[in-house]
Amino acid sequence: MVVEEVTDTEPENKTTAPKASDEKPVKAETDTKVEIKTETQPEKKEVKFNPLWILIPGVIVLGLLVGGIFAYEKGLANLRQQAAVTPSPLASLSPTVSPSASPAAINLTQYTLSILNGSGIAGEAGKAKTLLEKVGFKVGTVGNASAYDYSKTIIQAKETVTAGFLSQLKTTLAKTYQMAENETLKSTASQNVVIIIGSTKAP
């Protein structure tokens, strides 16, 4: 007879309870996400050129310049107006000098003029007559000279004719004709003043 020895063996798949001393705290694993922050530099905004930055100050400067010029011109105009209205004190102190022989004081009809055409231009003596009578001179005879080659206009007068009368006569004729030096008539001449018209006009 065979006797089998029976041993208390625990089944392999039976887990043994852990001992209290062997127990280790088990940390619960949690899914943690690590956020990695990367420092990003701020984007540099590109500064765009704006034409208004130049245009607006330019307009302001131009306005100030125009305003200054306008004010300057207005000030000058006011000064001129004041100078024209306000008499100068120095002018009141200066003595008044009256002309020695004014045209109004000369009697233009005291001598009768004789006009001769020496220019060779038809009707020139008549034009001179009209010119002189318009001013106030007295003209007698009008005719032709002995020659027609006179270039400049000549005044011939007796020595008895006043210098003021001759000066006024020459000034009047010089506005139209180129004048030569005055000539003296003989005391026996029938006319006091003779004018010979030349062909050259005043410049």
- The domain defined by 106-197 folds into Alpha-Beta Plaits (3.30.70)
- Using CA atoms, how far apart are residues 196 and 190, in angstroms rounded to an integer? 15
The count of C-alpha atoms lying within 13 angstroms of the C-alpha of 44, restricted to the half-sphere facing its C-beta, is: 3
Give the three-state DSSP class for 197.
strand
Q: Calculate helix-pair angle for 163-174, 124-135, nearest 10 degrees.
A: 120
Q: Is the pTM of this model over 0.85?
A: no
- 180 contacts 156 by C-beta, under 8 angstroms: no
- Using CA atoms, how far apart are residues 135 and 131, in angstroms rounded to an integer? 7
- Using CA atoms, how far apart are residues 156 and 185, in angstroms rounded to an integer? 6
Q: What residue segments make up the domains of the chain, in order of their start?
A: 106-197
Strand 138-144 and strand 183-184: the pairing is unpaired
- Using CA atoms, how far apart are residues 78 and 7, in angstroms rounded to an integer? 141
| Exposure string over 75-98, b if 16+ CB within 10 A, otherwise e | eeeeeeeeeeeeeeeeeeeeeeee
| pLDDT tens for each residue of the chain, 203 residues long | 445 555 454 455 444 554 444 555 544 454 555 555 555 555 655 656 666 677 787 788 888 888 888 788 887 777 777 766 555 555 444 555 555 544 457 899 999 999 999 999 999 999 999 999 999 999 999 999 999 999 999 999 999 999 999 999 999 999 999 999 999 999 899 999 999 999 999 98
Radius of gyration of the chain (CA): 63
